[in-house]
Amino acid sequence: SKLEPEQSNVSKSTLSTEKSSESPLEDSEEKLSAEESKDRNLPDAQSSLGLWGDSRGEDELSPEEIQMFEQENQRLVGEMNNLFDEVRQIEGKVVEISRLQEIFTEKVLQQETDIDNIHQLVVGATENIKEGNEDIREAIKNNAGFRVWILFFLVMCSFSLLFLDWYDN
């Protein structure tokens, strides 16, 4: 009965929006009658609820119902204890994860410093290799110049020996 006025009120309100241009006086009368019926049904529902709530007390429960409620209470207490134990386990796991995450963060920071050191060493090694390549090029040039001087000396010695041999004859 409580839902019927609302449904009729909703249907009347949808109809009233459609008919609003046709009959505004009828709409207002319908709204007033719907509100009055709603107000009448509200105390009826409250009085019936009050009678239902007062008619049945705890002392009227049968022993079977009491036993059934106790069993259900025991089952619920057991479930709650199991849930509490699971929450404790999860809490311990979360704490462990937090500790491991802190260790992971520390290791990442250590790796960052190690990577920076390695980068500096690689840059230094690259510069040393460039300097070494330049020294090798210079040594090759010096060695080539030295070979030219030795070759020139040997050629001059050979011509000197040939000249002395020709002069001696």
- The candidate with the shortest Cα–Cα distance to 7, out of 34, 41, 25, 39, is 34
Please check whether residue 59 lies inside any domain of the structure: no
Is 141 a residue whose pLDDT tops 60? Answer: yes
Please check whether residue 8 lies inside any domain of the structure: no
- The candidate with the shortest Cα–Cα distance to 126, out of 115, 116, 138, 118, is 118
- Say what the pTM is: 0.38
Q: Which carries the bigger pLDDT value, residue 62 or residue 98?
A: 98
Please check whether residue 163 lies inside any domain of the structure: no
- The whole-angstrom separation of Cα 43 and Cα 49 is 10
Q: Which carries the bigger pLDDT value, residue 36 or residue 87?
A: 87
Which pLDDT score is estimated for 80? Answer: 95
Read off the tokens for 90: 């999860």
Q: Tell me the residue length of the chain.
A: 169
Contacts made by residues 25-28, CB under 8 angstroms, sequence distance 24+: none
Q: Which carries the bigger pLDDT value, residue 91 or residue 4?
A: 91
Which pLDDT score is estimated for 19? Answer: 46
Please check whether residue 6 lies inside any domain of the structure: no
Any idea what DSSP says for residue 58? G
Please check whether residue 107 lies inside any domain of the structure: yes
Please check whether residue 120 lies inside any domain of the structure: yes
Collect all residues with Cβ–Cβ distance below 8 Å to 69 and sequence separation of at least 6: 61
Which pLDDT score is estimated for 140? Answer: 87
Mean pLDDT of 118-139: 95
Domain that holds residue 103: 66-144
Q: What is the mean pLDDT of the chain?
A: 77
Please check whether residue 123 lies inside any domain of the structure: yes
Which pLDDT score is estimated for 134? Answer: 95
Task: List, for residues 2-58, the tens digit of each pLDDT value.
Answer: 555 554 444 444 444 444 444 444 444 455 454 555 555 444 444 444 444 444 554
Collect all residues with Cβ–Cβ distance below 8 Å to 16 and sequence separation of at least 6: 27, 30, 31
Domain count, the chain: 1
Please check whether residue 95 lies inside any domain of the structure: yes
